[in-house]
Structure 1
Amino acid sequence: MSATKKFGTFAGVFTPSILTILGVIMYMRLGWVVGNSGLFGTIAIIFIAHVIAVTTGLSVSSVATDKKIGAGGIYYVLSRSMGIPIGGSIGIAIFVGTAFSISLYLIGFSESFNEYFDLGMTINDFRITASFALLSLTILALISTSVALKAQFFILAAIILSILSIFLGTTEFAPESVNLIPSENSVPLEVVFAIFFPAVTGFTAGIAMSGDLKDSKKSIPMGTLMAIGVGLLVYLSLAIFLAFTVDPELLKTDYNILMKIALFAPAVVAGIWGATLSSAIGGILGGPRILQAMSQDLVTPKIFGKGKGINNEPVNALLLVFVIAEIGILIGELDVIARLVSMFYLTAYGFINICYFLESWANPDFQPSFKIKRWIGLLGFIACFAVMFKLDTTAMLGSLAVIGALYFGLQRKEVKLQSNDVWRSVWENIVNKGLKKIDAQIDEHSNWNPNIILFSGQSDHQHYLLELCKTVSGRTGMVTNFKLIVDKKDDKPLKRTEQVVVNEDFKELGIFGRQLKVSNIYDGITNIASTFGFSGVEPNTIMMGWPKGLENSKEYSKMTQTLLHLDYNLLYLDFDLKNKFGNYDTVDLWWRETDSKNAEMMLNIARFIIASPRWDNPHIRVLFVNNNNVEVSVIEHKISELVDDLRVNVVIKIINNAVEQRAFYDIIKEESATTDLTLVGIPNFQIEKQAEFVLKTNHLFEAIGSTLLVKAANNFNVLDLDFVNSEDFQSEIA
């Protein structure tokens, strides 16, 4: 059995790339570009186009020397860096664009070929010639990739001879003065740029052969950058030569001027044919390998992933390329398709550049042997989309819409690779920098952003506690639910991977789930409250169910003391098993003179409840028990000011209790008997009176619906609710 045939830098990367770069644009349009834009304008156009080519070439070369580059070229690079959805969507777009570009090259060839041999110049004549050329090139590729690549050497030789013939040609068309800037009747520069830009899009032809290279990490950087560099020198040299050799008006009107000034015109004809046919060969060789790689990753049907022979030639994929290219030839008019194809290439180049930028910025494992500055990738990304926007906004939006649809389709298909993509590193880097920023700017009086440790336990109504906790945490707050597994022996803790809990409730609500072994529930809660969290996002709130039946528990009392000492916000939910949260419509906030910090926390919770789609604009009341016969209007005015500051719309109700002096809980039973959710502050009490408080609260819960008890930490502001002793009150009644 013979060894698999692999190609080196020159045959596998440089030659297919340079043959696509030195193509029809150089022969048929470069003179027109110089005539319309002047020498300085042309140099600017060439330079801007090569900013994209050079940055993309550098970016892909750097990524190629970090990862093992397999078959598929651009698709392989993007899918292994940014994940299958992006890599696959761009890969499909590049594949289709490559297949249709073959049609364009062959139609251009047929126009020149038919004119030279006087075979007919109708669209049907072009279709026949182009179809015959496509069939011939496809058969050549089927016979042997090696033969097709060797044929490129003869084409490269023809192009070199044609360029020499042009430089050695006549100067009888020389202008009286060199046209340095565009004249008044010239085509706008952006239109000229749009026509010239396809000249620099051929450098990825060699990258598509990545799976057939002896040493892709060496060949891709060297071959790609050599092709771009040689192409830049040729275009600049020819532009300067034409500016000094040919009258600008003649350059504008005669597309065949290169044949007229050449020392040997047939050499230029051979160069044109060689350029178009070599570009088509590049597409015929590269396109199927992109499709084959995608099919092997299950992005596209598996049938196109199968190859034949010792080199695993992508025969099935080649046949699909043939069909698409033939459809393009039969359509004939490919203006719209050509615009989209150009946009697809620019989009791919943009993503290659941002891929490199993200890899170098976020991935700690990114260690390419070919190193470049990180900003080069960002510059290339910006340049690509700036050019797309300037050239054709409609085509840009169209290409992005197609690629977006492919991306979401692949996401839903959930095709995944074994290797990690760069997005994990990006998020880790963002989180790392964000935590450092937060940690450096701690403001004890900033708005409350809940980071809740939740102990929901296992019960039939656990979902409701999870739901309310997520509501209370707001849009940006975090909730981590802990399941505590009692293990008296506690011989071995759970492995880190076993501690992570994922279920449908957690995924739906965006709650993190953890489980731990503990020897004692209360000690477990205390230990978690003392140690869980990390700099920047330390937990600030503990939430759990109300402890019925634990009023005499010394362990529970000790745990409560510790949580108060640690200065957590405490939330206890007594859930009404019968009515649950009712219609999610009414919320009562109960305030008293000693509830200054609890009151502010309740208003924050109310604001989050209002923002919750589940509660859908509930009716919220603030109820204040007036035990000191203070003027109702004074209290209402003061509470209104406090409520307005927190931008929460509520109804204020003052309950006069100076004469009757009814118990606070009795008033709550009367007013909130049918309320869907009632918030009550936990007063400051000596820990030895905890049992008494729990028992009284248990009786309250028997008379009202679901209730959330609130105990605010010290970082909450003090709301002045002591109307009897406050200075504001004294001034009001003076």
Structure 2
Amino acid sequence: MAPEAPDQPGEEIVKFGMFKGVLVPTLLTILGVIMYLRLGWVVGNVGLLGAWTIILIAFAITTATTLSMSSIISNIRIGAGGAYSIISRSMGLEIGGSIGMPLYLALALSVALYIFGFRAGLQFLYPGLSSLAIDLAVFALLFVIVFLSTDVAFRIQYLILVVIIGSLISVFAVFPPAPPPYDFVAVPPDISFWMVFAVFFPAATGIMAGANMSGELKDPRRAIPQGTLLAIVVSGAIYLALAWWLAASASPEQLVGDYTFMISGSRWNSVVLAGLLAATFSSALNSLVGASRILHAMGEHAIMPRSSWFSSRTRSGIPRHALLVTGGVVLASLMLRDLNIIAPLITMFFLITYGMINIVILIEQNLQLVSFRPLFRIPRAVPLVGTVGCIFAMFIINPVFSLIALFFVAVLYYVLMSRHLSGGTPYGDVRSSLFVAMAEWAAKKSMALPRTPEKAWRPHLLIPILAPAELRGMSEFIRDVTYPSGSVRILGISMGEERAHLEAGLPSLSREFEEDGIYTKWTMVETDTYADGVVSSIQALKDSFFSPNIIFLRLPEDPRWESDLRSIIGKAADNLMGVLLYAPHPAAGLGRRRRINLWIAGQCLSRPEGLNLPNCDLAILTAYKLAINWEATIRILAPVADPGRAAEVQENLAELVEQTRIPVKEILVEERPFSSALSAAPAADLEIFSLPPAPDFDQIRETIAKTRTSCLFCRDSEQESALI
């Protein structure tokens, strides 16, 4: 079915102002069935002061949330979908969708609950009417009104508002004979103060009724804050006044035992009953309108399958496809006949939404980004009260359903993250800034603590390249050296000719490492010589947080590059950076990646004050990393030119294995010169050696030829230790 095109000639999208689009629907949703049927029960259980306390706590939470929402709206161009739009534009589509879907379901199921409430009031007058017939008739009337015209739906609310005002006049027309007792009534032993709070709190959760219409408001930035806050003030005053009237008009026993006392104790009973029916009808109407708008907004951002179908609307702006689906959800829930068991879950979804709005403003305030310039500023205490209040209310009302709701939201977030929605995000969000702020905070705290780089050491590689092709055949090996906790920074060295090709290839190289689970960054420098570019980068990155601690080089085939490598290796040592010089065998490669020969010269083991490993630490740690990632075995080889030291070296190596805790399968101490030991060494897939300060590249090539294996030469940075 093709989407209906909006904004075509002949019919314009209807836009609403603050009074019609926000104040009236919000006020009517708050002044609902709980006001008529449960407020007296609340007063009867906890007394006037207790009821006022509950009302003030509930409205404090929703007021804080409204103030937070107002501040956010004054900083963004809010789109359709109300709370969904607010959260999506601040925290990303994944979080917005994981909150928006439960909020949509909560609103849709609320329609059924309000219809059940309407039916209960109607059967109070006509007990013989069929319950199912009433439910279906009311639903049909609601659906037709909303389907035909939102403007008509909002005009009907004026009539409903008049009826509710008339019902309140009928109540206050009976003035109590005496003032009420200002005290807490003893709560019955089978119910607590917070249980009473849990029953009342849903009355205060209608604050999003106007915000859900954000896409159809003339000026949502002003209309939503003004209309919602005014609705809270008016409804809060009405609840406080009604609590006073109830406490003065009846005994606690009457109020607890008679849910309909407000009807029977009023001047004109039928008018109050009409107010009850009007309130439930209005709440159902607003919830149906709001739910369809949220579904439509999620469709615009491809949150769900077949999103283009959900995102269509008529020329007058009515999202009829979203309405059809919402109507189906409501109709299905009506057929279940009893939603009381999941009613607390609906409240949880509302509270999670309110809590997230407060969290959004808390994050924005604490990040102190320049982009956060709200016209309406609030103290940090306001969203903090809102956040804590929402969490508190959730677990007071029903801890089990709170956990279920949070789990449901978490699962949705995981599913949406797996769909990679961010690629289509039409606006930025603060998530990356949040993690950057956390990293900056952690970095500052870390820098203030005593530095122990050996304890926290992990391989962070700087890999200079002249062309993307240089990493071919080495990517998997680099991954094995760094995975899982290391990182890679690819340094493109541009000396003029290959700049465009190099710049185009670096992002794809970075993505390949990222796909393998390696945190990777890339950068490019322009320089006259290869060595100058690498050395300048080493010096520039030295004092940065998460700076590279190893430079990864490949043995050049052309000897003319050897002087550059010597210069780089020397400067790396001056800047406390380790070196890995990889020399792949042209035929053998890395073989089956099952055996590693770790060469430790006998003179490297000294014990003036315990076991000492000069320039062996990086070689040992790298061998360990590769053995873990390859599931390989390590063999230690130690050629000893002096036959008299063989036993001492064997003993030292045994202690080395014990103290370094590396998985060594075999220790071979051979009484022969190093050069002859190379030719006689057992076969392996990789040979690891220490790299001297002034490397002899001819000897390195001879080593590769004699071992007939790829080799890795390691030079310590003095910032790592295999003995820790």
Q: TM-score range by the shorter chain?
A: 0.7 to 0.9
Q: Who is 2:234 aligned against?
A: 230
Match of 1:701 among 701, 704, 719: 704
Match of 1:257 among 257, 261, 266: 261
1:291 aligns with 2:276: no
CA–CA separation in structure 2 for the residues paired with 1:258 and 1:633:
99
Match of 1:409 among 404, 415, 437: 415
1:121-175 deviations in whole A, cap 9, x for unaligned?
xxxx222112212222222233432232122123223223322332342647998
Match of 1:266 among 267, 270, 279: 270
Q: 1:560–1:77: structure 2 CA closer, same or farther, 3 Å change rule? A: same
**Matched-pair contact (CA < 8 Å) for 2:466–2:502:** no
**Matched-pair contact (CA < 8 Å) for 1:102–1:280:** yes
Q: 1:607–1:51: structure 2 CA closer, same or farther, 3 Å change rule? A: farther
1:313-336 deviations in whole A, cap 9, x for unaligned?
222222322222222222211123
Aligned residues: 698
1:288 Cα deviation (Å)? 1.7
**Helix, strand or coil: the match of 1:86?**
helix
TM-score, normalising length: structure 1? 0.86
**Helix, strand or coil: the match of 1:52?**
helix
Matches within 5 A, 1:646-657: 646-650=660-664, 653=667, 655=669, 657=671
Range moving further from structure 2, 541-550 or 529-538: 529-538
Match of 1:151 among 139, 156, 160: 156
Q: 1:181–1:451: structure 2 CA closer, same or farther, 3 Å change rule? A: farther
Q: Who is 2:515 aligned against?
A: 508
1:499-537 deviations in whole A, cap 9, x for unaligned?
644565222232334455555433433333333466223
Q: Which runs of 5 or more residues in structure 2 are unaligned? A: 1-9, 606-612
TM-score, normalising length: structure 2? 0.87
1:342 Cα deviation (Å)? 1.8
1:320 aligns with 2:325: yes
Q: Who is 2:686 aligned against?
A: 677
**Helix, strand or coil: the match of 1:598?**
coil
CA–CA separation in structure 2 for the residues paired with 1:291 and 1:536:
44
Q: Who is 2:168 aligned against?
A: 163
1:302 Cα deviation (Å)? 1.8
CA–CA separation in structure 2 for the residues paired with 1:317 and 1:148:
17
Partner amino acid, structure 2, of 1:682: L
Range moving further from structure 2, 110-119 or 448-457: 448-457
1:127 aligns with 2:132: yes
**Matched-pair contact (CA < 8 Å) for 2:18–2:223:** yes
**Matched-pair contact (CA < 8 Å) for 1:82–1:355:** yes
CA–CA separation in structure 1 for the residues paired with 2:50 and 2:679:
83
**Matched-pair contact (CA < 8 Å) for 1:500–1:514:** no
Range moving further from structure 2, 382-391 or 365-374: 382-391
1:366 aligns with 2:372: yes
Range moving further from structure 2, 210-219 or 646-655: 646-655
1:63 aligns with 2:67: no
1:339 aligns with 2:350: no
Partner amino acid, structure 2, of 1:615: W
1:477-504 deviations in whole A, cap 9, x for unaligned?
321123445535x8x8899888644565
**Helix, strand or coil: the match of 1:204?**
coil
Alignment RMSD, CA only?
Answer: 3.2
Range moving further from structure 2, 283-292 or 206-215: 283-292
1:326-371 deviations in whole A, cap 9, x for unaligned?
2222221112332322222122222222222223333430111111
**Helix, strand or coil: the match of 1:251?**
helix
Range moving further from structure 2, 538-547 or 592-601: 592-601
Matches within 5 A, 1:558-637: 558-592=567-601, 593-594=603-604, 596-609=613-626, 612=628, 614-616=629-631, 618-627=632-641
**Helix, strand or coil: the match of 2:78?**
coil
**Helix, strand or coil: the match of 2:205?**
helix
1:389 aligns with 2:395: yes
Partner amino acid, structure 2, of 1:420: G
Q: Who is 1:531 aligned against?
A: 540
Matches within 5 A, 1:235-246: 235-246=239-250
**Matched-pair contact (CA < 8 Å) for 1:455–1:545:** no
Q: 1:459–1:586: structure 2 CA closer, same or farther, 3 Å change rule? A: farther
CA–CA separation in structure 1 for the residues paired with 2:453 and 2:624:
17
Partner amino acid, structure 1, of 2:438: I
1:245 Cα deviation (Å)? 3.3
Q: Who is 2:124 aligned against?
A: 115
CA–CA separation in structure 1 for the residues paired with 2:447 and 2:182:
63
Q: Who is 2:312 aligned against?
A: 306
CA–CA separation in structure 2 for the residues paired with 1:45 and 1:622:
73
CA–CA separation in structure 1 for the residues paired with 2:623 and 2:502:
39
Q: Who is 1:480 aligned against?
A: 489
CA–CA separation in structure 2 for the residues paired with 1:554 and 1:185:
88
Match of 1:664 among 669, 674, 684: 674
- Percent identical pairs in the alignment equals 29
CA–CA separation in structure 1 for the residues paired with 2:561 and 2:419:
56
Range moving further from structure 2, 101-110 or 424-433: 424-433
